Amino acid sequence: GTFDIGMIGLAVMGRSLALNMADKGFRVAGYNRSREVTEAMVKEYPHDNFTPFYDLREFVEALARPRKVMLMIKAGGAVDAVIGQLTELLEEGDIILDGGNSFFEDTRRRYEALKEKGIRYFGVGISGGEEGARRGPSIMPGGEKEAYEQIRPVLEKIAAYAEGEPCCTYIGPDGAGHYVKMVHNGIEYADMQLIAEAYILLKSVAGYTNAELGDIFEEWNQGELKSYLIGITADIFREKDDFEAGELLDYIVDSAAQKGTGRWASIESMKQGVDISMITAACNARILSNHTELRKKAAGLLSGPEPVKAENRELFKNQVRDALYAAKIAAYAQGFDLMRDASKKYGWNLDLGKIASIFRAGCIIQAVFLNDITEAYRKNPELDNLMLDEFFRNRLEECQGGLRHAAAEGIRSGLPLPAMTEALSYFDAFRGGYTGANLIQAQRDCFGAHTFERTDREGTFHHDWGKRN
Ligand code: NDP
The pLDDT tens digits for 408-422 are 999 999 999 999 999
**Same domain, yes or no: 209 and 136:** no
Pairing status of strand 452-453 against strand 460-461: antiparallel
| Residues sharing a CB contact under 8 Å with residue 93, sequence separation 6 or more, in sequence order | 65, 66, 118, 119, 120
Which one of 174, 203, 226 terminates a domain? 174
The atom of ligand 1 lying closest to the CA of 259 is 34
From the list 58, 117, 145, 188, the catalytic residue is: 188
CATH number at residue 450: 1.20.5.320
Sheet architecture: strand order including 28-31: 50-53, 28-31, 5-8, 68-71, 95-98, 120-127, 138-142
The domain boundary, picked from 174, 191, 220, lies at 174
Contact 352, 340 (CB under 8 A): yes
pLDDT, position 466: 86
Task: Give me the sign of the Cα torsion angle 108, 114, 116, 122.
Answer: negative
Strands (E), 136-256: 138-142, 161-162, 165-166
**142, 174, 206 - which closes a domain:** 174
Sorting pLDDT into bands at 50, 70 and 90, what band is 306? very high
Q: Are 278 and 190 in contact (CB under 8 A)?
A: yes
ipTM of model: 0.98
Beta pairing partners, 68 = 95
Tell me, yes or no, whether 216 and 111 share the same domain. no
CA distance 310 to 436: 34
Q: Say yes or no: 396 and 446 in one domain.
A: no
Whether residue 147 sits in one domain with residue 254: no
Nearest to 191 by CA among 358, 368, 325: 325
Give per-residue pLDDT as tens, 244-267: 999 999 999 999 999 988 999 999
Whether 346 and 389 map to the same domain: the answer is yes
Please check whether residue 255 is in contact with residue 392, taking contact to mean a CB–CB distance below 8 angstroms.
Answer: no
In a 3-state reduction of DSSP, which class is residue 448? helix
DSSP designation for 416: -
Q: 468 and 394 in one domain?
A: no
Q: Which amino acid is at 29?
A: A
User: What's the angle, vertex CA 105, arms to CA 31 and CA 125, rounded to 5?
Assistant: 50
In this structure, the answer to whether residues 144 and 193 fall within a common structural domain is no
Rounded Cα–Cα distance for residues 56 and 33 (Å): 9
Together in a domain, 389 and 442 = no
Instruction: Count other Cβ atoms within 10 Å, centred on residue 87.
Output: 15
Question: How many CB atoms are located within 10 Å of the residue 372 CB?
Answer: 18
Active-site residue 181, yes or no? yes
185 annotated to bind ligand: yes
* Count of other CB atoms within 10 angstroms of residue 271: 8
Q: What is the Cα gyration radius of the chain?
A: 25
Q: What is the DSSP string of 89-102?
A: H--TT-EEEE-S--
Confidence class for position 347, pLDDT limits 50, 70, 90: very high
101 a known binding residue? yes
The helix or strand, by DSSP H or E, that contains position 429, with its residue range, turns out to be helix 418-432
CA–CA separation, 249 and 412 (whole Å): 25
Q: Which residues line ligand 1 (CB under 6 A)?
A: 9-14, 32-34, 37, 72-75, 78, 81-82, 100-101, 126, 129-130
Residue 468: the pLDDT is: 62
Alpha helices, DSSP H, located in 433-468:
437-448
H helices present in 226-289, as ranges: 228-238, 261-272, 277-289
Q: Which of 181, 197, 247, 409 is catalytic?
A: 181
How much is the average pLDDT of 19-43?
98
pTM over 0.80: yes
Q: How many CB atoms lie within 10 A of CB 129?
A: 15
Closest CA to 104 of 83, 125, 80: 125
pLDDT band at residue 469 under the 50/70/90 scheme: low
In this structure, the strands spanning 161-162 and 165-166 are antiparallel
Report pLDDT digits (tens) over 272-293: 999 999 999 999 999 999 999 9
Cα(412) to centroid(ligand 1), Å: 46
Atom of ligand 1 nearest to the CA of 11: 25
The overall average pLDDT reported for the chain is 97
Tell whether 96 and 36 lie within a shared domain: yes
- pLDDT by residue (tens digit) across 91-150? 999 999 999 999 999 999 999 999 999 999 999 999 999 999 999 999 999 999 999 999
Q: Is 438 left (phi over 0), alpha (psi -120 to 50) or beta?
A: alpha
Please give the number of the atom of ligand 1 that sits closest to the Cα of 75: 32
Residue 30 host element (H or E): strand 28-31
Query: Can you give the length of the chain in residues?
Result: 469
Check the annotation: does 236 bind a ligand. Answer: no
CATH number at residue 123: 3.40.50.720
Centroid of ligand 1 to alpha carbon of 75 (angstroms): 7
Domain co-membership, 442 together with 459: yes
Q: CATH code at 310?
A: 1.10.1040.10
459 is in an annotated binding site: no
188 included as an active-site residue: yes
Element spanning 126, H or E: strand 120-127
Q: Which domain holds residue 369?
A: 181-432
Same domain, 115 and 200: no
* Shared-domain flag, residues 318 and 465: no
Give how many domains the chain has, as a whole number: 3
Helices (H) and strands (E) in the chain, counts: 19, 11
Nearest 5°: the CA angle 224, 322, 369 is 25
Please tell me the distance from the alpha carbon of residue 350 to that of residue 344, in angstroms, as a whole number: 9
Q: Count CA atoms closer than 13 A to 371's CA, side-chain side.
A: 10
Does 430 have pLDDT greater than 80? yes
